[in-house]
Structure 1
Amino acid sequence: MKKVKCYAPATVANVVCGYDILGFAIDQPGDEVVVSFNTHHKTVITKIEGDHGKLPLDAEKNVVGHVVNLFLDKINSKQGVDIELYKKMPLNSGLGSSAASSVGALVAVNELFGNPLTREELLPLSMEGERLASGNAHADNVAPSLLGGLVLIRSYDPLDVVKLPCEMDLHVVSVHPHVDVPTGEARKIIRQQVSLKKAVEQWGNIAGLVAGFCTNDVELIGRSMKDVIIEPIRSMLIPYFAEMKQLSLDHQAIGFGISGSGPSVFALCSSHEQALNIANQLYSFLSSQSIECESLVTKINKQGAIILP
């Protein structure tokens, strides 16, 4: 029986100042999803590995089953589908774990059915996976995982997504401290109103960040990776955030921030050697504070989810 396997990459959402509207994909880690036809006329999750038993096998309660059912409704198919999910990243990590699962399932099942939908048409379906996972159908994780590179969500209603130029050979340090910051909880603490002064400063940083990527201006990117609205609140949930940020900037990182809702943090770097040094520095620092973590050096993923042989 034909099987299709898809790899969907992790993501860094917000990119410091672009709350819910900016995100980029990274090469590692990522999830793998395998789909195949069945004769049960329903969606069945047959296997989940790597989640330590935390994710439901019920297709209606798991994002992979949920988005596959939405896909089948979209193409008016009653065909049954079996799903295998291989989690390659921690849950609630700030790396777009649920997004990678949703995107992997959709790209795989779309391939299984002969690609009746474009990637852009899969995007709203993948956003519904985010709604199931966190209560909010945001796109700053699913869009870059699906499309690759750096993505701007210009508007949610109507949905308007732009893949931005990302030609520079930038490296990303990703550090996941072993502390728990659920996405839903991280959203609850965000202020619903901000001053006009702070809003103007934030708009300038977002525009500067976009302009920096479009013009390959690393210094402008660095100056623009500042968040005066979300980071001051969310960083309180991440132990030693200020110290990690200063350590990274002291070692010439372009910028540093929270990955998604945290607890993962990231540093954007100009070279592989610089990124390795910062990754080692951050790992050693957290270890000295008795905080376990994983650190890795990766790159911006420019192609998004791919079908594997």
Structure 2
Amino acid sequence: MIKIYAPASIGNVGVGFDILGAALIPISGDLLGDFVTVKLSKKFNLINKGLFSNKLPQNIEKNIVWKCWVKFCNVIKKNIPVSILLEKNMPIGSGLGSSACSVVATLVAMNELCNKPLNSKELLFLMGEIEGEISGSIHYDNVAPSYLGGLQLILEDSETISQTIPNFKNWFWIIAWPGIKVPTSKAREILPKKYKKEICIKNSRYLAGFIHASYSQQPYLAARLMQDFIAEPYRIKLLPDFLKAKENIKKIGAISCGISGSGPTIFSISDNIHTAQKISSWLTKNYLQNETGFVHICFLDSKGARKIG
């Protein structure tokens, strides 16, 4: 029996649309993500439990875990009957890589159970392929950090899909999910098909500057450059409270703030725990829309997917 945990993640990280992703772990030490337990069985069986299991499709063949199992068996050209327990702790359509958590945990668990027939590159490629089928286009900015940990730069080079880039150890990442859903497909549809040359150049400049600041360890430069010119101007229509929240968070002392993935979760960054706690309190009182919403102060999770127990 194999049990794997895969952490939640922030896609885009503001400045890196589809090419930057960050894995998260609450500073409390609690795990924020999905668990998948796999064991050999006489036939395929799937059990769903966890905080958000009631939001999963009733039809087993529409469940991401089933799709992962089918794809994995097809790739290794062998049918492996298993019993799978999915602990769905991440809200669907939250902008925290919920589908990526399930995809990563399932494929890592299957690979471990079968004595690792796929290497990490092959596994990551398969994760991206399945994630693409769910959201409508292949993108690795959630699966890569959830699998590999840390802050990931998606290269999609013929030899290298993703690489870890340095992050800032004294940064606190405050995330707030309001308790509502924004489907990734809807958030992608709202984006324009074409962008002006000036916007493309500006975005490239800020992204290159952020990568440079990360490697040269200039935290305030990196924070100033974490601006989203590609998605945020259009996605704020889906998040009516975002601009107000961003303005107030900045007043409290956040050094950066943005939409996590396709939203509605937002993230902010502070280099001071007291400021982070003030931001967390403000978001809890003003950004959450129901009792299922949550706020966490996090570090980046350097471990990524791992075996539990």
Deviation at 1:130, TM superposition (A): 1.2
Match of 1:38 in 2: 41
C-alpha separation in 2, matches of 1:225 and 1:235:
17
Given that 2:100 and 2:142 are in contact with CA atoms closer than 8 Å, whether structure 1 keeps it comes out as: yes
Unaligned stretches of 5+ residues in structure 1? none
Which stretch shows the higher mean deviation, 231-240 or 141-150?
231-240
SS in 1 for 2:155: strand
C-alpha separation in 2, matches of 1:291 and 1:62:
26
Match of 2:2 in 1: 4
Aligned residues: 303
**Would the alpha carbon gap of residues 208 and 69 (structure 1) be closer, same or farther in structure 2, given more than 3 Å must change?**
same
The alignment's TM-score, normalised by the length of structure 1, stands at 0.92
Give the AA of the match of 1:13.
Answer: G
Deviation at 1:96, TM superposition (A): 0.4
Given that 2:174 and 2:298 are in contact with CA atoms closer than 8 Å, whether structure 1 keeps it comes out as: yes
Deviations 1:227-275 (A, max 9, x none): 1221010122112211111122122212100000000000122133321
Match of 2:275 in 1: 274
**Would the alpha carbon gap of residues 239 and 291 (structure 1) be closer, same or farther in structure 2, given more than 3 Å must change?**
farther
Mapping 1:127-166, distance limit 5 Å: 127-155=128-156, 160-166=161-167
Give the AA of the match of 2:90.
Answer: M
**Would the alpha carbon gap of residues 167 and 221 (structure 1) be closer, same or farther in structure 2, given more than 3 Å must change?**
closer
Given that 2:172 and 2:273 are in contact with CA atoms closer than 8 Å, whether structure 1 keeps it comes out as: yes
Given that 2:53 and 2:87 are in contact with CA atoms closer than 8 Å, whether structure 1 keeps it comes out as: no
Give the AA of the match of 1:295.
Answer: V
The alignment's TM-score, normalised by the length of structure 2, stands at 0.92
**Would the alpha carbon gap of residues 174 and 307 (structure 1) be closer, same or farther in structure 2, given more than 3 Å must change?**
same
Match of 2:77 in 1: 76
C-alpha separation in 1, matches of 2:57 and 2:290:
29
C-alpha separation in 2, matches of 1:179 and 1:236:
15
Deviations 1:95-123 (A, max 9, x none): 00000000000111111112222222211
Deviation at 1:134, TM superposition (A): 1.7
C-alpha separation in 2, matches of 1:241 and 1:201:
23
C-alpha separation in 1, matches of 2:137 and 2:159:
16
Given that 2:178 and 2:264 are in contact with CA atoms closer than 8 Å, whether structure 1 keeps it comes out as: yes
C-alpha separation in 1, matches of 2:224 and 2:48:
46
C-alpha separation in 2, matches of 1:9 and 1:192:
32
**Would the alpha carbon gap of residues 119 and 167 (structure 1) be closer, same or farther in structure 2, given more than 3 Å must change?**
farther
Match of 2:100 in 1: 99
SS in 1 for 2:138: coil
Unaligned stretches of 5+ residues in structure 2? 26-30
Deviations 1:117-173 (A, max 9, x none): 222221111123312322222110001000000111123778632211235232110
C-alpha separation in 1, matches of 2:287 and 2:145:
29
Given that 1:127 and 1:139 are in contact with CA atoms closer than 8 Å, whether structure 2 keeps it comes out as: yes
Match of 1:89 in 2: 90
**Would the alpha carbon gap of residues 117 and 167 (structure 1) be closer, same or farther in structure 2, given more than 3 Å must change?**
farther
Match of 1:201 in 2: 202
Deviation at 1:298, TM superposition (A): 1.2
Given that 1:206 and 1:224 are in contact with CA atoms closer than 8 Å, whether structure 2 keeps it comes out as: yes
Match of 2:255 in 1: 254
Give the AA of the match of 1:298.
Answer: C
C-alpha separation in 1, matches of 2:161 and 2:153:
9
Match of 2:28 in 1: none
Give the AA of the match of 1:116.
Answer: P
C-alpha separation in 2, matches of 1:306 and 1:73:
24
C-alpha separation in 2, matches of 1:124 and 1:243:
39
Deviations 1:5-54 (A, max 9, x none): 111000000001211111010014200001011122xx331334333533
C-alpha separation in 2, matches of 1:303 and 1:169:
17
SS in 2 for 1:50: coil
Give the AA of the match of 2:299.
Answer: K
Match of 2:229 in 1: 228
Alpha-carbon RMSD: 1.9
Q: Which protein has the bigger strand share?
A: 1
Deviation at 1:60, TM superposition (A): 3.4
C-alpha separation in 2, matches of 1:18 and 1:302:
19
Give the AA of the match of 1:31.
Answer: D
Given that 1:96 and 1:142 are in contact with CA atoms closer than 8 Å, whether structure 2 keeps it comes out as: yes
Match of 1:295 in 2: 295
Deviation at 1:59, TM superposition (A): 4.7
C-alpha separation in 2, matches of 1:59 and 1:117:
25
C-alpha separation in 1, matches of 2:62 and 2:133:
8
Give the AA of the match of 2:282.
Answer: Q
Give the AA of the match of 2:15.
Answer: C
**Would the alpha carbon gap of residues 113 and 10 (structure 1) be closer, same or farther in structure 2, given more than 3 Å must change?**
same
